[in-house]
């Protein structure tokens, strides 16, 4: 892991989140109270499986940690450039 830290924002519960940068800062994961945000930059076709596995591992870990908090929705958008 490149970097993991706790962000408090303005101090409200909605602003509090755990921030993690992975894959040389090409993946950003924010675990918030009400949602999980994943942003991937410079995603190459060869990286898709690694990134997908990482996202699923994060979601599984959250489910194992808090089984009483089910996921209500999940969306994924991928834009890839050839090269």
pLDDT mean over 35-42: 86
pLDDT above 70 for 80? no
pLDDT at 9: 81
Q: DSSP characters for the chain?
A: --EEEEE-TTSSGGG-EEEEEETTTTEEEEEESS-EEEEE-S--GGGHHHHHHHHHHHHHHHHHH-TTS--------------
Tell me the pTM: 0.75
């Amino acid at each position: 892991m490149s970097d993991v830290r706790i962000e408090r924002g303005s101090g409200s519960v909605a602003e509090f989140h755990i921030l993690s940068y992975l894959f040389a800062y090409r993946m950003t994961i924010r675990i918030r109270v009400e949602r999980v945000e994943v942003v991937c930059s410079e995603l190459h076709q060869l990286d898709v499986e690694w990134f997908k596995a990482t996202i699923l591992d994060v979601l599984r870990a959250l489910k194992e940690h808090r089984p009483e908090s089910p996921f209500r929705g999940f969306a994924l958008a991928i834009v890839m450039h050839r090269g």
